[in-house]
Structure 1
Amino acid sequence: MTKSNEDRRKVLEARRKVLEARRKVLEARRKVLEARRKVLEARRKVLEDRRKVLEDRRKVLDSNDFIGGHLGL
């Protein structure tokens, strides 16, 4: 017994809908991963900036000018 053309059309339409849904899921996952990457890059930049600030503070505290000028030694 062979399937009618209408049955074949319904099967193909169902397959098309499944593939479209899979594509949408993959696109959404890609967007989530891109957003996570941007967040991680921003966090990394913040940490780098904090590190630079702390290094600059240490340099100032280690310098003789700071000790002599501000503490009166």
Structure 2
Amino acid sequence: MKKIIIPIGFLLMAHSAHAQLTQGENYVYSKSYLDYNVGGQPTKTSETVQYFDGLGRAKQVVNVKASPLGRDV
């Protein structure tokens, strides 16, 4: 009986360990429209990317093109 239970236990543990590996990072991309033109087209926008770790805690916040030179902050 032990000969059957031990290999099945290893297979189940290997599958759960494989499920925890990630290929990329979790992130939330948000875009807010600050100003509209007469035709309804947005002229000013604010874009933010928030990166999270595997437990859902915020790791980094990036404001896209937020500096006066158009660089990410």
TM-score by length of 2: 0.39
Higher strand share: 2
Higher RCO (CA 8 Å, separation ≥ 6 residues)? 2
More helix by share: 1
